[in-house]
Structures are given as C-alpha cells and as structure tokens.
A and B are shown apart, each in its own frame.
Chain A
Amino acid sequence: MAKRVGIEVSIAVSEAVKLANVDVVAAYPITPQTHIVEHLAELVADGHLDAEFIPVESEHSAMSTCCGSSAAGARTYTATSSQGQALMLEICYIAPALRLPIVMTVANRSLSGPISIWNDHSDMMMSRDTGWIQTVAENGQEAFDLTLHAFRVAEDSRVLLPVIINLDGFTLTHVIEPIEILDQKEVDRYLPPYQPQMRLDPEDPVSIGPVGMPEVYTEAKKAQDEAIKGSKEVILEAWQEFGDLFGRYYKPVETYRTDGAETLLVTMGSLSETAMTAVDHMRAKGKDVGLVRIRLFRPFPFEEFLAAVEGAKQIAVMDRALCLNGAGGPLAIEVKAALYDEPERPYIWNYVAGLAGRDVTIENFVEMADGVEAAAADGLRGHYTIINVRE
C-alpha cells in the first residue's frame, strides 16, 4: 500500500527511480541535482537497488554512457542541472534521434554567467528543441509521479523517446513535503519491465547511429518530428491509467479558476502554486483572474492550451528565462505562436521573473494581472517586462 510520508523531494525522486528498478544510473554531481544521485548511490551501495551506478567524469559522459546503456537494452536514468545539461547538450540531441528511452531529471537552475546555482528555467529552455519529451513538476508528489510516468512513456514501443522531468532546483529539490510513495506492487502494475524493440546483441546484430547522407537526413528528421508529436497520445493514456490506478489525474495543461476569467496568468513549475494563491486573493476581491499551468512542455500541447485560454481577453505569461534576442521570454514566444492562427487572439504581455532564485511573490502575480490589463487598455506595444529589477 502507498504510504504518505514527509520526505525531501529529491529523495522521493530517487525512490521513484528505485521503484522503477532501473538497471543503470550514470551521473555527475551538480548542484542542486546532487541529493537525487547521492541517494541513488546509497540505494545501490546498500543493496536496495540492483543497478550499476556509474560515477562518470562529466555530464557529457553521463549522457554518452546513458546512450550506450539504453542501446544495450537496459533501463537507464540520469539527473543533471544547468551547466551540466549545457555540457551534455550535444548528446541530448543525439539520444532522441537514436530513439533511446532514457529518463532524466533536470533540477532546473540558471545558466552561467554570472555563475549562479539558483533556480530558474534557463536550462529547460536551452534544451527545449532537443527532441526530448519534457514534463514540468509543480510539487513533490508530481515529481514522484511524473518520474514513473516518464519511464512508462519513454519505453512504450509507440514512443521510444527520452523524457526529461523538470523540477525547480532548491524550491522543489531541497524541500520536505508530504508525498505518497507507492509500493513496489503498485508500481509494477503501472510500469512493466522494459522490453526493448531492438538492442545491441551479437546474436542479432544491428547498426545504430549511421551516417545520414543528404538523401536520408530530412526523412530521418521528419520521422523524429512525427514521433514526438505522436507521443502525446501515449503521454495522455499513461496519465489516465496512472489516475485510474492511484487516483491522481494529470493533464498537459491545468486550469485554475479560469471560468469567466478575462485575465489569465500562464505559468510553469513550482511558482504555479504561488500563482494559485494570488488568484484566490484576486478572486476574493472580485477580480476575474484565472491561472493556466503548463505541465507538458514537449511536445507542446497546442490544442489543450488553446482550449484553456479560450475566451480570455488578456494573458500575462510568466517566463523564468530570458531569450537574449529582444523578444522577451521563450514561453511567451511559444504562446504567441500557438495563438497566431486564432481568429480572436487575446492580448499578451510577457513577464520575465524569478531569474536565478529571485523571489516571485503573490504581490508580483497581482502586479502581472494588473499590468497586462493596463497594457491592454492602453494598447501598449513592446510586450515584455523584466520584473523585480533593482534599479
């Protein structure tokens, strides 16, 4: 039976990886991912998890080792953050192209420079077009549940793509929350053993990772594009089944008090919980504000997102990363692209907030809601503001 316990979120993630009975973990330490891999090393050292724990010499080698392991047919996991993900990025592009169902937790952290260990979504945005399926956790329970969901989706023969679970560094990784930890029998019911479609085996030789000449490269990319788009059906199915088994249902886009809301906030990650409190405050004062939270970042859930914002007059999109291209934050750029084809588009203002652990408060969300309404009324152009800047 599942047990609800007070547990650090990183430890809960490692427990989920243990319950998934992974075969190989290859990881390199980086703050704030460390507690996850430390606990996995302990689980292996104490014999609670029968896996090879490979303490590689870099994140580049972590992802490379994961590719080798996954191609050999083993259930494979790693975790990283920020600079570590930047270092492994070359291989992050290759893993999905080779259709290797690796699961990785990214303890989201800002990118250097200046060097900073604190939380934002720069690393998530850096890897947004690598071809990985990406989900975003809002709290510890989601971090645990999404980890099991990740293995289930990645290894599904209709998908065979690697999955990232994004988890806000410190804000989530280092806090203790009440989390329901499923037991082994429950997990086994949800997550079958990995049955590779193809693996490196001398009795049935295959060549993996050949040269793609110009006459096949485009076709290979098209196939990959179809694969990630097609994964959504399986992602939804796996969430549905998770809910049916354990009572917690997840959706690619969640809405909070959006009924009749003229103004919507759009968020991702743990700050969504602060935003919900802000919405409660504003609703209590009679302001028609709602919240849209994106849980499935890749593939981007266009359909669900459009349904969630339908009827809104203005949207304030919060980004926890900045594109240094003069256009603001990456999430807002995507949201705008998603809405472009709509005959009636809401007005959008982008707030870049919470960079490198800078607090985003309830008041800030109120400020965003008020701000987008005022900007819409004034017909302002420019479309983004970096908030909480000390002048």
Chain B
Amino acid sequence: MSRAADDLKDFQRFTPKKLPVEEPLAPGHRACQGCGEVLALRQVMKALGNNVIVVSATGCMEIISSAYPQSAWRVPWLHVAFENAAAVASGVEAAYKAMIRKGRIEDKNTTFLAIAGDGGTADIGIQALSGALERGHNFVYVCLDNEAYMNTGIQRSSSTPYGAGTTTSPPGKKSIGQQTWKKNMPAIAAAHDIPYVATGSPAYYVDLMNKAKKASLVKGPAYLHVFSPCPTGWRCAVEDAVQTGRLVVQTKIFPLYEVIDGKYRLSRKVKKPKPVTEYFKLQRRFRHLTEEDVAFIQERVDREYDRLLELCGIAPEE
C-alpha cells in the first residue's frame, strides 16, 4: 500500500469559492427538518462527485433517501442490511478489482463509499468494519454520528456522550442518563494502521469536504467520523443544528483532526475554547445535568483534548 502522504501530495483543496456543483444526493428526500446528518452526507457526496458507488447501512440516511419507488440517489446505491456496510463495500470493491483485472470493465478510478450511523459503526457494525479495515480494501467508510439510534427512536448507543438523556438511558433519580463515555471510534479505526482517518463536522463544511476527498484519494481504507447534529433526537431547535456542530468543536468536545499514515494532525486549534455548557444549553438531552455533572464532564473534555494535542505533537496551553 502506498503511503497516504504520497497519494495526497497533489491534492487540490476545495475553497468556499470553489465548490463542486454536483449533487449526487438529490434534494427531495424525507429527512427531518434541520437534519445535520443529511447535510453532512450531502457535503461528503458533493466532495466525492458522481464517480462513486455508495453502500448504505440500514438507518436514517437509508430510509429517508430510498423509499421505493423513489430514490434520492443519482449515483449507484446499494443497501443490504444494518451491520454490514463495510462488508458489502468490501465485496463491491473486490468485484471491481477482479473485473478490471480480467478485462471485463474499464478502470475508471471509482470511489467505493460505505456509510453508516454510529450504531451501525460503533456497535452492531464494528466487526464488519474492523474486518474490512484490516483486509485493506480500497474504500471510504463514513460514520455519520448522531450519537444514538435515532431511526428507531433515540435509543443510546456506545457513541452517545456521557450524561445525555435518550429513551434507553433516561435520566432519573438513580441515573444521570448515559453512564458511559463516548466510544472513541476514530482511535479504533486508526489502530488498524490504515492510511487515513479524520473527524469532521458539517458546520465546517469545507474542512469536511476536503477530508472526504482526501479519504477517496488515499489507496486503502479511509475512515471519516462525522459529527451529525440531530435536532429531533437531541431536542434542540432545528435552526440550531449547524450551531451545535460548530459549538461541539469550539468547546473541544469533538475536535477536528486527521490521522495520516498514523500521524495525528489537528485541523483546527481551538484558541479560546468555550465552556461545555455553551454546547449543552442548546440541547434538552443535557438539561438535567447539574453544575457538578458539568464540571465533571468539563474536566474529562479538557484532559481528552490535551491528550489529542500530545498525539499531534502540540504542547497543551495552560
């Protein structure tokens, strides 16, 4: 496998003035008002263009885009089941490899994209994902993380943040809500020693699109973990979706970074970080948290961010 850095050396960045006009994911789908996930997906698709084959896990993005006889997809799209997007994409990629080698089809440098939510990635789909990353298929995996099983009605996943209320992690006299810390999926992906891992947020759309494009340019598996605001599940105002996607970065809760050939690189240094409450107060899933709870979470967020800075070779600031 060639090094990702080599694959990316001639990379042409998107800029706000230089964005593609293609919309491989058409408008007119059935997503909720203010959906940050479909926004992120639209940006990823714009970055990848039309020479792509999409494999979708079962989930919000699948149901909102495909109800027969309609389809929002202008590019080839395949949905098989919930937990197997990475395995299905492995098959598509391998089929192309074999058919190209045997001279049955032309090599047009098509991108193979697998998309899944946080449940389809961090919980039920983690085995298939790990297998596909380990085998080294040349594909892009995008986890659209809205931090719970939103399609089934806001049940907690291993990607739900500590303290958040969901329908299966309800806050109560004996519980704070979600009692575990969010699973660090990008680190798990990076541990497979794949060429490219990155985090993104639709609020920073140029950054997200550049990362999606880079993910498609590296040879081998690439993993993109995209923060996907869900007003319906987070109980926030639909007009605040993009703002939550911005605040989650500005509060250091969800830092934007890349891991290229195993090397961590911060995409956006948070110079004057905001307190986590700025992010929490827009969302009713956090409204039960006490000052003490918030302080406990703040301490963890600061520590995790410093740990990331260390991985990126940046000295933490006091």
Contacts and interface: CB of A to CB of B under 8 A. Distances in A.
Interface of A: 23-24, 26, 50-52, 54-58, 60-61, 64-74, 76, 90-91, 94, 98, 193, 200-202, 204-213, 216
B102 to A, nearest CB: 6
Given A72-B95, A216-B68, A205 B131 contact: no
A26 B76 contact: no
Interface of B: 50-53, 55, 62-63, 66-69, 71, 73-81, 83-84, 87-99, 101-102, 104-105, 108, 110, 127-128, 130-132, 134-135
Nearest to B64: A211
B90 A200 contact: no
Given A64-B87, A202-B76, A211-B67, A91 B81 contact: yes
B136 to A, nearest CB: 11
A69 to B, nearest CB: 4
Contacts, number: 159
A64 B84 contact: yes
Q: Please list the 4 inter-chain residue pairs (A to B) with the smallest Cβ-Cβ separation, ordered nearest first.
A: A68-B91, A57-B131, A74-B95, A72-B95
Most chain B C-beta atoms within 10 Å of own C-beta, residue among A91, A201, A209: A209
A200 B128 contact: no
A64 B81 contact: yes
A210 B66 contact: yes
A108 to B, nearest CB: 25
A65 B50 contact: no
B131 A61 contact: yes
A26 B68 contact: no
A23 B77 contact: no
A68 B87 contact: yes
A72 B131 contact: no
A213 B68 CA distance: 7
A65 B90 contact: yes
B234 to A, nearest CB: 24
Nearest to A201: B76
A200 B99 contact: no
B79 A209 contact: yes
A380 B110 CA distance: 67
Given A57-B130, A68-B55, 7 more contacts: A23-B95, A26-B91, A61-B84, A64-B81, A65-B88, A91-B84, A213-B68
